[in-house]
């Protein structure tokens, strides 16, 4: 090695220690369980040399050349012959798929005692801020890939919290759009009522640029036909630093009974007021219809999944087929948690009247959000997206672990209503990121993105992973 080469090598090592974007990405992938499948470095280099832009996909989205597994070894041979609608739109705009990211198996809809970020295909995704902490799910790998700088943008999916939670606890921006803004065609489903895909990135602008690409009408997804005529889909254009001025934001109360939560609320208030907005404390009288929502999800999961399986050249055609497979392969598939939700979902066959009653309750959540916005003359709701990441726990899963941690969460009503939720980093609690949410009515995505952008610019907070073994 000559002198110049030696100096360059030392510079590279130094840079790798100082800048997360310079780390060896293969090492990061292996260490943090980010990808289930990935292009090799040579192929990535070729794509970059051709001027294409890398993006990562959650491994429940169809992309030619990659198995679409939902994190389950049952689907390791599920190679689609057609790209998901959103994937084709990305490819048409100069992106290439760098890889498929790990997720909570079956998008966290297999067991009531599941551990987020674990799948039988990809193992456990780790939170780079606290190596003993959960990355949250189900879009775990997508959020961590962005947090580590492996890609600028990744695509996640959400039914109830699967973009908002991993974005919050991994310190990245997440956009959970209005249901129908982004096509679900070619995505392994949970709920036709609540499912959506959305981008995750380090900045609002980067996430908004990708949302521009993937949004739009798809004849194969009837929900997209409800996009209002003339809706502004130029989400990254004319981002307004003054968007918060003169606006009124209702504070969702989660976290206000905790010292750290109150500290973050105070920071939120200070920044909003410095930008000319007002933070309004209001009486939130809504009750969360969790039982009805869960029934809707169970019912729609079986219906949607069996429709997806039936369109593929797979030996599994029904949910019962998968249940049987999981029992046969119990040592691998169920080594950390069971398949109780699968079994419950399979038992919903024929319960049409019960489904319709529960769906009616769920859809009324839209009226609840709209009523608050109207009654208090609010432009949007804001709140803490999620508490800091909890410890990974295979003995009782997330429910047991979260019960011992701060359980702030504001996004469930937005998810249930199908309304947009924009998540941005707000601050740190014990060295762990906490995000804040901007939530609004249907199709208010552009306004919320502008609010989030304005807040982001003023807050000027871009957390970077510290790889702590046990943050306190």
Active site residues: 58, 138, 162
SS (H, E, C) the chain: CCHHHHHHHHHHHHHHHHCHHHCCHHHHHHHHCCEEEECCHHHHHHHHHCCCEEEEEECCECECCECCCCCCHHHCCCCCCCCCHHHHHHHHCCEEEEEEECCCHHHHCCCCCCCCCEECCCEECCCCCECCECCCCCCHHHHHHHHCCCCCEEEEEECCCCCHHHHHHCCCEEEECCCCCECCCCECCCCCCCCEEEEEECCHHHHHHHHHHHECCECCEHHHHHCCCCCCCCCCCCCCCCCCCCCEEEECCCCCCCHHHHHHHHHHHHHHHHCCCEEEECCCCCCCCHHHHHHHHHHHHHHHHHHHHHCCCCCCCCHHHHHHHHHHCHHHHCCCCCCHHHHHHHCCCCCHHHHHHHHHHHHCHHHHHHHHHHHCCCCEEEEECECCCCECCCCCHHHHHHCCCCCCECCHHHHHHCCCEEEEEEEEECCEEEEEEEECCCCCHHHHHHHHHHHHHHHCCCCCCCCECCCC
């Amino acid at each position: 090695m000559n002198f110049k080469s030696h100096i360059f090598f030392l510079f590279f090592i130094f840079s790798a220690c100082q800048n997360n974007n310079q780390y060896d990405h293969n090492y990061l992938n292996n260490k943090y369980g980010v990808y289930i499948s990935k292009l090799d470095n040579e192929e990535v280099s070729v794509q970059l040399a051709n001027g294409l832009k890398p993006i990562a996909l959650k491994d429940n989205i169809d992309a030619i050349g990659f198995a679409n597994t939902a994190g389950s070894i049952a689907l390791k041979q599920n190679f689609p012959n057609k790209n998901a609608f959103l994937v084709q739109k990305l490819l048409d705009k100069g992106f290439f798929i760098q890889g498929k990211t790990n997720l909570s198996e079956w998008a966290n809809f297999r067991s009531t005692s599941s551990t987020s970020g674990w799948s039988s295909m990809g193992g456990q995704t780790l939170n780079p801020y606290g190596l003993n902490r959960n990355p949250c799910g189900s879009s775990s790998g997508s959020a961590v890939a962005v947090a580590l700088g492996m890609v600028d943008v990744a695509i996640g999916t959400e039914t109830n919290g699967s973009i908002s939670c991993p974005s919050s606890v991994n310190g990245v921006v997440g956009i959970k759009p209005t249901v129908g803004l982004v096509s679900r065609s070619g995505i392994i489903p949970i709920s036709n009522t609540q499912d959506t895909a959305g981008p995750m990135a380090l900045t609002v602008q980067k996430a908004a640029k990708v949302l521009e690409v993937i949004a739009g009408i798809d004849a194969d997804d009837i929900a997209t036909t409800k996009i209002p005529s003339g809706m502004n889909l130029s989400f990254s254009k004319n981002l307004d630093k003054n968007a918060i001025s003169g606006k009124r934001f209702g504070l969702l109360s989660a976290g206000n009974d905790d010292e750290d939560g109150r500290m973050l609320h105070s920071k939120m208030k200070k920044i909003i007021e410095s930008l000319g907005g007002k933070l309004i404390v209001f009486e939130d009288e809504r009750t969360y219809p969790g039982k009805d929502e869960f029934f809707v999800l169970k019912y729609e999961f079986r219906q949607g999944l069996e429709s997806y399986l039936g369109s593929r050249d797979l030996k599994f055609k029904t949910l019962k087929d998968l249940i049987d497979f999981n029992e046969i392969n119990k040592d691998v598939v169920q080594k950390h948690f069971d398949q109780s939700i699968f079994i419950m979902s399979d038992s919903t066959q024929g319960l049409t009247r019960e489904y319709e009653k529960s769906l009616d309750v769920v859809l009324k959540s839209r009226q609840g959000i709209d009523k608050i916005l109207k009654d208090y003359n609010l432009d949007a709701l804001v709140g803490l997206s999620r508490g800091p990441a909890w410890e990974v726990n295979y003995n009782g899963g997330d429910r047991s672990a979260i019960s011992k941690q701060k359980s702030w969460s504001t996004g469930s009503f937005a998810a249930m209503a199908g309304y947009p939720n924009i998540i941005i980093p707000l601050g740190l609690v014990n060295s762990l990121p906490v995000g804040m949410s901007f939530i609004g009515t249907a199709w208010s995505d552009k306004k919320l993105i502008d609010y989030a952008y304005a807040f982001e610019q003023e807050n000027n907070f871009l957390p970077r992973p510290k790889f702590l073994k046990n943050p306190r």
